[in-house]
Amino acid sequence: MGTNIGPVREILGNSEHVLRGLNPIHCEAGLPTRACFLLSANDRPDDGPSYGIHEAPADQVHISPLGARQGISVEAFLSVLPSREYGVARLNVGRALQEVVGRAMVFVQKDDEKWLQHAAAHAMITGYQTLGNQIRKDLQRYLAKLAAEAVLKPPGEKPK
């Protein structure tokens, strides 16, 4: 009897970087709030919040293998967001997960056909579904704080 397992997905390493779209509705004074990083216990484990795997130079393949192989530029990432009014922040994976080290939280690569030619640059965060309410809220605040330190394009600002 066979076992039905899903596609193998690569887990992003601590040295990879991800891009997060910042909905202007959930930002204050041009900075993200925890509402930009909603993490619900009811989310399906295979369909968490979306991120882009930030591109890395080819010679960085030993440091950021996914970014070097299939990463997305900020300009291309803007094209897959719901609106050009969205902002963009860049997060280091290791730093983003340092508050939940030892728990089963990871960023994983998951193709998204809506991203067309950039489908392989799509990632999601998962594992937070099993965390307690307070830990999830604390993590949302922490991600918003990190994102506020690394806004590449403020929400509401027209792309250059």
Task: List, for residues 104-142, the tens digit of each pLDDT value.
Answer: 889 999 999 999 999 999 999 999 999 999 999 999 999
Percent of the chain's residues with pLDDT above 90: 82
| Residue of higher predicted confidence among 102 and 114 | 114
Residue 145, pLDDT > 50, answer yes
Cβ density class 59-91: b for 16+ within 10 Å, e for less: eeeeebbbbbbbbbeeebbbebbeeeebbbbbb
Percent of the chain's residues with pLDDT above 70: 92
Interval 11-36: pLDDT, tens: 999 999 999 999 999 999 999 999 99
Mean residue pLDDT of the chain comes to 91
pLDDT at 47: 84
DSSP class per residue in 85-114 = T-EEEEEEHHHHHGGGTTSS-EEEE---GG
